Amino acid sequence: MSTGVHRPSAPARRGWLHQLVVLAAFAVLAVSVRSVLSPFVLYLLFLYLVWPALASSPVAVRLAAAGSALMALWVAQTAGLLLAPFILALLLGYILDPVVDWIEGHGLPRSPAIWMLALPLLGILALLVFVVIPAVADQVSQLISNVPGYLRTLETWADHLRAWVVGLGIKGLDESTVPRLRDVDAQALVNYLQQRQSELAEGGLQAVLGLGRGIGAVLTVVGYLVLLPILAYYLLRDWDGLRERLAELVPPGSRAQVLGFAAEYDRLLGRYLRGQLFLAACVGVIIGVGFWILGFPYALLLGLLAGVLNFVPYLGLLASLAAAVLIAVFSGHFLGGLLKVAVVFGAEQVIESVIGPRIVGSSVGLHPVWVILALALFSFFFGFVGLLLAVPAAVFLKLVLSAALRRYRASRWFRGGDAGTQVDRTGGVAEDTGGV
């Protein structure tokens, strides 16, 4: 009489026991020789051990996938700067692929379609490199040279505030306890900033792009300028074929589920990335051109700052607005400057509220706090590569957590043992319809 409980056979149990012994021996060996083995060598040994079981054991497949994920994290942390051009090219190809498909759909072969799209992009890049960046550098130098005047204005306000505080007659607050701002040497501060300006710029590029010094920095810049377009071109040319080959690697039994997840991921990530990129460009142009028309100082610098920081929800707006308010306060035209700031940022917010939902879409579902947390954590652990991977990883984790929560809410444990619901393979809830 069958009890309905499947028990593994003796050979199967011996096979599992053999695998556990092998893994335990491998773990002991790895710990013993960890001082002479790199993670890459350990990863190769790990794959060698689990390789025979990949064709028959789902557990071995999961172990290999988990080990590969850990290896990818280690590579991203240790060699991320070398991978940055490749990841940038991958993101660029992902963003531009729908545009190339649209051009190709109008009768133009794919390679000419890519070149047709690349020419204006190269023109924009040349404009940024040879016009915008030098102009921004000049405005930064001008801002540093104006620091003494700003400090004198601040000293005057601080002296009035100090006199008002001392005049209150509060015990403990008198001429000797309230400090004076005039003790700050403005010219020494300016000299320091001018001496450190090039070092600060070089340090910023090192932090972002991983630049070295001397010939190393030149080679890194050349690598970005030359390697990035070449990689992006070949990825765009073979994009559809790469997607098909990746789909063929998914087991047939799980292909519908995995491809459904990938389609939803592509929809959310593509809309967010393309929308945010276009929206950031619009915000930068609106603020820069608006301040330039009104004659506000450092218009180009503020426009670039607002556009770049717009990728960080809310914090970008607050940071660029704070910078504009400070410039307005110290420019010598207090009320007029604040009025210009209010007009430009007010107009930008009105325009963004109109075009933002159309560009990004209201169904992306990425909460600003989630995006900020992803940017902060990934940039902290992986640097510039982390910034590139933060949003894709945030979208992926959102979908995984959403599926996990659906499974949890549909579980018998959550529903108090209710057997009237079933969980489908994608994590959704299917109500029991009595066999229909």
Residue 115 lies in a domain: yes
First-residue to last-residue Cα distance in the chain: 32
Percent pLDDT > 90 in the chain is 3
- pLDDT-based confidence at 427, cuts 50/70/90? very low
The pLDDT score that the predictor gives to residue 428 is 44
Residue 106 lies in a domain: yes
Nearest to 270 by CA among 304, 303, 309, 243: 243
Residue 371 lies in a domain: no
Distance between CA atoms of 254 and 69, rounded to whole angstroms? 20
Look up residue 16 and give its two tokens. Answer: 């599992």
Does 416 or 279 have the greater pLDDT score? 279
* Arithmetic mean of pLDDT over the chain: 74
Q: Domain check: are 240 and 113 in the same one? A: yes
pLDDT at 239 over 80: yes
Per DSSP, the three-state class of 124 is helix
- pLDDT-based confidence at 140, cuts 50/70/90? confident
AA identity, residue 136: V
pLDDT at 419 over 50: no
Q: Domain check: are 215 and 236 in the same one? A: yes
- What's this model's pTM, rounded to 2 decimal places? 0.65
Burial label, 413 (beta-carbon count in 10 A; 0-12, 13-18, 19+): exposed
Q: Domain check: are 196 and 120 in the same one? A: yes
Which of 28, 56, 78 corresponds to the end of one domain?
78
Q: Domain check: are 228 and 299 in the same one? A: no
Residue 2 lies in a domain: no
Q: Domain check: are 119 and 213 in the same one? A: yes
Distance between CA atoms of 228 and 235, rounded to whole angstroms? 11
Residue 252 lies in a domain: no
Residue 3 lies in a domain: no
Q: Domain check: are 228 and 264 in the same one? A: no
Q: Domain check: are 91 and 167 in the same one? A: yes
Q: Domain check: are 275 and 323 in the same one? A: yes
Q: Domain check: are 144 and 227 in the same one? A: yes
pLDDT tens column, 142-200: 777 776 677 667 666 666 666 666 666 565 555 555 455 455 555 555 565 555 555 55
Q: Domain check: are 141 and 237 in the same one? A: yes
- Report CA-CA distances (Å) from 340 to 29, 100, 287: 69, 40, 11
- pLDDT-based confidence at 343, cuts 50/70/90? very high
Residue 209 lies in a domain: yes
Q: Domain check: are 417 and 325 in the same one? A: no
Which of 365, 390, 410 corresponds to the end of one domain?
365
**434 DSSP assignment:** S
Number of domains in the chain: 4
Which of 78, 100, 115 corresponds to the end of one domain?
78
Does 364 or 205 have the greater pLDDT score? 364
Q: Domain check: are 53 and 114 in the same one? A: no
Give the distance from CA 329 to its chain's centroid.
Answer: 33
Highest mean pLDDT among 79-93, 338-352, 416-430: 338-352
| Domain boundaries, position 23 | 12-78
Does 290 or 314 have the greater pLDDT score? 290
Residue 370 lies in a domain: no
